[in-house]
Structures are given as C-alpha cells and as structure tokens.
Amino acid sequence: MTYASHPGAGFRRFDGAAAKADELAQAFRGLPDGAGPGHALAAFKRAASYLDVPPGIVQLIDALFAWTKPDDWRPATTPIVWPRNDKLARKLGLKVRQVQNLLDRAVALRLISHKDSPNGHRGGVRAADGTIKWAYGIVLSPIGTRIAEFQAVAERGARQDEEVDGLKRRLTAARRRTSSLAQTALDQQLAGTGADEELALAQSGARQMRNVRDIALLTGCVEQLEQRSRALETRIVEALSVLETDENLSDSHYNAPAHDADCIDSTTTNKPQTAEAVTSNGSAERSRRNEAALRDQAPSEVEEDLAKHGVDPDFIESVTPELCGTLGFGRPGWGELIHLAEQLAERHHIHRHAWHEACRLMGQRGAAASVIATVRKHMAGEVDRPGAYLRGMSQRAAKGELNLGRTFHGLKDQRHSMAMRVLAGGDEPRSVGELARRALSRQLVLSGRSSSDRR
C-alpha cells in the first residue's frame, strides 16, 4: 500500500520544466565550428544578467564546466559531468541542500538536465583518449543548444545598456543645466521664472529614474526635462534682458552731463527706498505690519514650544538658508518669516485652507515655522505631499502632540552632519540659499559704494 500511495517516492520529480530541459539536451548536435566549451560558458555568463539568472546559478554552472572537456561538445556526443553533491557543496562553499536547490533551479531555467543511472547514483568512465565511455549525471547540453540565443541576448542587452547610459547622461546634463539656470535666477533676483519649481522637478526626476532601465520611460522623462530646461532658459534670458535694459536706463540718468538744461535727476522722491525694500520684493512694509500685530497676540502652545527650545527667526534662517536666502539682510523678524511662509505655501501648492487652519491652531509664528519645516523636508525628498503633511502637523498641534522645537533641532543636526561630510571631502559647504545671500550682499555693498562715490 505504501508504494501504491507514493509511487514516486525516492525518485527525481519530473515536470514541465524538466521536460523542456530534456528536449534541449536531445536537440544538441555539437557546438558551432570554432567554438569550444569556453565559448558556450562565456556566452551564458554574458546573457545571465539580462535573463535574470541568479548569481548562485552562474557560480554553479561555472563549477560544473570545470569537469567537462572539449571532446565532450563534439557532434554525436553528450557533455555530462558526475560530481557528487557533497563535492559540489565543498567547491561552492554551500550546504548539500543548497546545492540541490540550485540544481533544481537550473533545471527550471532550462540550463541543465539529468541522466540518471539505474540506482540513481552519478558516475562515469573516460577512455584513455579522454572521451566518455559511459556516464550518468548532470547534462550540460542545453547550454550548448542555446548558445546562439545567449549570444543574441547578450548583444541586445549590451545595446540596451549603451542606450540607457546615453539617456542617463542626458538626464544628468538636463538636471545640471536646470541647476545652473536656477542659480542664475537666484543670483540676479529674477522673479516669475519658476526656477525653483523647475529645479525641484529636475532633481526629483533624476532621483526617481536612478535605477530605471525602461527605455520608453527614460526617454519620456529625459525629453520632458530637456524641454522644460530650454523653456526655463528662454524665460531667464528674457528676464535678464529686461534687467539689463533697466540698468542701462539707470546708468544713463546718472551719467548725464551736469550742464545739460534738459537733464532731470533720476531720484524722483525725497524718501528713497531702503535696501530692505529692494531685496524683499516690496514686502518690508507688510513684514512690519505682521510684527506689530504679533506683539498683541498671546502665544500658542506651539509658539511657546519654539521659544522653549530657542527656535527664533535667526535659528530658523541658520537651519534653512536655502529657503530664507531671499530675506532682507540684517536680523530677520517673525513678520518676514510669516510672509515667506505664505509664499512657500503658495509655491508648493499648499491650500490656503491648510495655511489658515495652521494659523488658527498654532498661531502665525508656529504656522510659519511649520510651513518652512514642511517645505524643507519636501525638498529633501522626505515628504511627498506638503499640504497633507502640514494638515497632519495641525492635527497633532490640536492634540498637543506637536514638538516643533525638536523638529528644528533635528534639522540642525542633519545640516551639521552634512556639513561635516562635505568638509571631510575637502569642499566648502554652500547651499543655494547661502550662495544667493552672498551674491546679493556683494551687490548691495557695491551699490552703496557707487552711491557714496557719486555723492
């Protein structure tokens, strides 16, 4: 009854994969002229990565080829090797059971077949000239039968690699070009170009395409980023031409001859704007109104938490210079940060309702700090949806569970760690915001010197 219930007990299982492997083994008619077992093994190894063959299988096949000879691959012969599993295990540094699993997997991939002896043991004898007299064991014929397939797969994969590498280079070039254009927009204070959004999109696209090998997907992403980079360049060129025209007009007023009766002074008001008004894009007055209103408001729990942890406008600016780089020079106030947060919320598609809800629950200072922290995390790739993240912070603030002060100290630690890594590499850590602030500072100094020289 035992044998009737389990007729295949103790024998090798036969399935569809084994049948296909046997067909390939029987179809073997010798290697092509001029090819030996080394050529067959090399063709298989080159194609293995494109056929998703695990490295363990490649190592197993390589070890099995060590027992074969060139005469085994001639027409009317069968390349068979008969090492025991324990010997293979020692050679591969594996357990016997692991070797058995690899052999089963190799059969499923149609790379080897088996020729079993009557007692199920492997063995064989070679003649004096090295030819096989009789053998039972692992049949390598399927690899010889598929040598043309392996060569075609390897060639196709190499062409695909070249195409993918070319697209990756174009993607990197588009990202770097967009970064350069964004730096120009920040250095020259060009408004309305959308350079920061384009830079974020280019960086996100390059990051998401890092391990992609789908040529159609890569091509679409690269072409889109290149097109957007060209459009950004056009907008920046137009903005630079307008800026240059304005500067030329200003220079013509200053350089007019003093004795010309028709010449009028370029200063049209006896109350010229300060540098703060220039660099804040007209927001200085609004910032002062915000500061005055804040003095009459009782601090929220979130604002008290910020004060307890020493998170003030100076602290926030030092932690996020890439966001606060366009603030006025000198010590920034909460009014300026609130105005900046409103701009960042609009720029990163945070709904006005989310902003007003944050102001209601956290106070304006707490809401501004939350928006700046959210956008900072979004730019670092830690947050996908800034609006949803800000709403989550508002919900935690309503429950008294938001520790915004710790969040900013965590951002400070991240920035310090990054700076240390950069210094270890020998470079000076400079963010885009820091570079923009230095460039604007130099412009103001030069402008002040020019004014004093004229006076």
What pLDDT, in 10s, does the model give residues 107-149?
A: 999 999 999 888 888 999 999 988 999 999 999 999 999 999 9
This prediction has a pTM of: 0.48
Q: Which CATH number fits domain 12-145: 1.10.10, 1.10.3470, 1.25.40, 3.40.50?
A: 1.10.10
Kindly indicate the confidence band of residue 94, based on its pLDDT and cuts at 50, 70 and 90.
Answer: very high
Work out the average pLDDT over 428-455: 48
Whether residue 194 contacts residue 246, with contact meaning beta carbons closer than 8 Å, is answered with no
What pLDDT, on a 0 to 100 scale, did the predictor assign at position 434?
53
Provide the Cα torsion 435, 234, 169, 421; round to 10°: 10
DSSP designation for 11: S
What pLDDT, on a 0 to 100 scale, did the predictor assign at position 193?
87
Residue 329 in tokens: 């020079």
Domain range annotation of the chain: 12-145, 160-252, 283-454
Better pLDDT: 449 or 275: 449
Work out the average pLDDT over 256-275: 39
User: Would you give the end-to-end CA distance of the chain in angstroms?
Assistant: 115
For residues 182 and 189, give the distance between their C-alpha atoms in angstroms, rounded to a whole number.
10
- Percentage of the chain modeled with pLDDT above 90: 42
Tell me the pLDDT of the chain averaged across its residues.
80
For residues 307 and 167, give the distance between their C-alpha atoms in angstroms, rounded to a whole number.
50
For residues 374 and 298, give the distance between their C-alpha atoms in angstroms, rounded to a whole number.
24
